[in-house]
Structure 1
């Protein structure tokens, strides 16, 4: 958003991204084929549940947020909740007393990427004075004041411009009403609130490229800061919010209807465009190998630990879609389970959340985002023949895995 609002946050986990593309309507790289998924929130919980507190913080308050906004941000489920259909819903409301409430979520201190493709699939709200945004602030904020900490606006829309979205950089010497900015008009001139759209930045050292639905429309590099510092080679944290009113969007009027909702299908962070990792062994912290039991290829074959022997049963490929593959099948959480103790097996690749894995560069854990749980040997025994399961992530040695 145009200026930061009081407490915000930090992110850290080095990634590195696809080459930026310059002119509008030039297709951006496809991350699923070009880069490895390193983190995501698919918002697949039950209706009425809170956003995952392992990923998201609520920032609350009604102090204008530096922009003379009207809303009071709350942590109420009336303002932010999962809908049971795979969406996070942020709802801006006009309350009975005429005041406004909404929600603002950040990943400060929890998910902190540096570089990569950062994207979300969003259906934005509509109406005069409504201001949805998907954006990031530098990890130094608030200790480092805005705009010196840096701000990357991935998507902003103001209600009086339903067919237009904006992407911007705010930094020292180019902020507020004078950022490095670009805009993207809906190709048919329709309202962005009519449907879901994918908003992304491809962020690499010295450059940021913005895209909508795969169409890149703006790139800025460190040469574009008018001699001012480029402050984007550091971790940033992500923010989702819907503001009501403010200096830039103006204020609700008689045409503005409430409640207004922003639906977020997912938020994803991809690594660089290497097309995935390598092929080879996946080893536990004691050097023993992840192994397909009996070298069998049938669906449901258990995955276990075994002494490394160079066989095909221990040859895994880290694919660019976030899967781990052996025998052209995927490492799979049995029956899509989300409870600790669920077995892990080999299964035909099907694109479900049961087969997505994120390797944490810090803890070296292999986490299944659908369940929020980590791969480990059953009973935490790192011995030959021990089957694998998912368990609560605890950063312990038995949950550390070295990938090829």
Structure 2
């Protein structure tokens, strides 16, 4: 298989009403515009290991919470680049580590994680009873809060006894394991996923996640549809995983019909960030809060680490000027021109009400902000570390009202006008 390695982010333009139609037709909503921020094209030499700067190879044969039968290894027997632009994950029937099967499980944990965006991979999956290939995501706070409180987004799962069907599912508190919120997609005409590459993706926004196969949407999860005892946990960074499990609670075990070895070929994995309309890296902006009409301001024009950030009547001083600098993951850091310090969440907090301050630029998630345009021309700023929005405390309007992070709620206290000043 040959493939182009030069590509651009997918752009979907709005459909306009035809001027010759007799009846008025509403203008279609413009689809999100996505900018590529991370990818692996798997262009390594034949037999080479997956890129260690992007992937961690998890190992072990403990059943992985699902009574799986494989032992995941970091050997080239189970994972390698094929020299033709693909990652190969190979499941084999062999005795290893006290298990009867081997395979591989790759994750970007500790290497890359992102809050919101479009995540996609082009994959040809294996087949057969007992095979369980997956492309999925976990919240990067899983080490501190556990599962399912961390959240899980299964972009694509297949159980081998369903060769024409894949599943997309969300797992969180109150809807996990057997009771995740999901849907399935079936290829038309009896086609099977093992016979060709297909593109599996999600589009993840603050209050919604959408699932696609080859550009066809088949599942949507809205924050508003969760009920009592169910918690929305898709407001913080998630990392990526690729694996082929053998056996387990869902697919069942291999039987006499299962052929080994089996391979999952991954053409690429790409991650996009929604375009930040009009926000230019390096430009200095005044940020004016829509609810108060006041500017984002460093208290008393301070320069020390920990100085309070507040709102104040616009005055044109450097204490109210912020340089937007793009990061490689599609987020921005905002550097105050008066102090040279970054807009920062105090102590890297994640709780509603955590105060915002200035601090020496350190590149941590507490200083990374996703800047997304609202429909009314304002912007919301979502902190990458917490998944919370930049917010004026108690929707205040008085000079000196502090700024904090708070769950994204779409109120004017979280809407900011960005005006370029230099």
- How would you bin the TM-score normalised by the shorter chain? 0.5 to 0.7
Deviations 1:204-247 (A, max 9, x none): 00110000000001101112222211001110010000000001
Look up the match of 2:59.
60
Look up the match of 2:39.
40
Q: In structure 2, the residue corresponding to 1:233 is in which secondary structure? A: coil
Contact 1:37–1:358 under 8 Å retained in 2: no
Q: In structure 2, the residue corresponding to 1:143 is in which secondary structure? A: helix
Q: C-alpha separation between the residues in 2 aligned to 1:29 and 1:189?
A: 33
Look up the match of 2:198.
197
Aligned positions, number: 266
- Seen in structure 2, the aligned counterparts of structure 1 residues 258 and 144 have a Cα distance that, compared at 3 Å, is same
After TM superposition, list the pairs within 5 Å mapping 1:234-253 onto structure 2.
234-253=236-255
Q: In structure 2, the residue corresponding to 1:199 is in which secondary structure? A: strand
Larger Rg, first or second structure (1 or 2): 2
Look up the match of 1:257.
259
Worse-superposed segment, 73-82 or 188-197: 188-197
After TM superposition, list the pairs within 5 Å mapping 1:254-333 onto structure 2.
254-273=256-275
CA positional deviation for 1:280: 9.3
Q: C-alpha separation between the residues in 1 aligned to 2:82 and 2:63?
A: 28
After TM superposition, list the pairs within 5 Å mapping 1:147-162 onto structure 2.
147-162=148-163
Q: C-alpha separation between the residues in 1 aligned to 2:146 and 2:200?
A: 27
After TM superposition, list the pairs within 5 Å mapping 1:1-400 onto structure 2.
34-95=33-94, 99-227=100-228, 228-273=230-275, 361=331
Contact 2:124–2:193 under 8 Å retained in 1: yes
Q: C-alpha separation between the residues in 2 aligned to 1:248 and 1:29?
A: 39
Contact 2:114–2:329 under 8 Å retained in 1: no
Q: C-alpha separation between the residues in 1 aligned to 2:131 and 2:256?
A: 13
CA positional deviation for 1:359: 6.3
Aligned-CA RMSD value? 2.9
CA positional deviation for 1:278: 6.7
Q: C-alpha separation between the residues in 1 aligned to 2:138 and 2:224?
A: 21
Q: C-alpha separation between the residues in 2 aligned to 1:105 and 1:167?
A: 19
Deviations 1:253-294 (A, max 9, x none): 0110011000000100011156x87789899xxxxxxxxxxx
**More relative contact order, 1 or 2 (CA 8 Å, 6+ apart):** 1
Deviations 1:62-89 (A, max 9, x none): 0111111000000001101100000000
Instruction: With the length of structure 2 as denominator, give the TM-score of the two structures.
Output: 0.59
Structure 1's consecutive aligned runs of 4 or more residues displaced over 6 angstroms after TM superposition are 28-31, 276-283
CA positional deviation for 1:99: 1.0
- Seen in structure 2, the aligned counterparts of structure 1 residues 258 and 233 have a Cα distance that, compared at 3 Å, is same
Q: In structure 2, the residue corresponding to 1:160 is in which secondary structure? A: coil
Q: C-alpha separation between the residues in 1 aligned to 2:67 and 2:130?
A: 12
Instruction: With the length of structure 1 as denominator, give the TM-score of the two structures.
Output: 0.61
Q: In structure 1, the residue corresponding to 2:244 is in which secondary structure? A: strand
CA positional deviation for 1:145: 1.2
Deviations 1:181-226 (A, max 9, x none): 1100012221111100000000000110000000001101112222
Give unpaired runs (5+ residues) of structure 1: 1-16, 20-27, 284-356, 365-394, 396-403
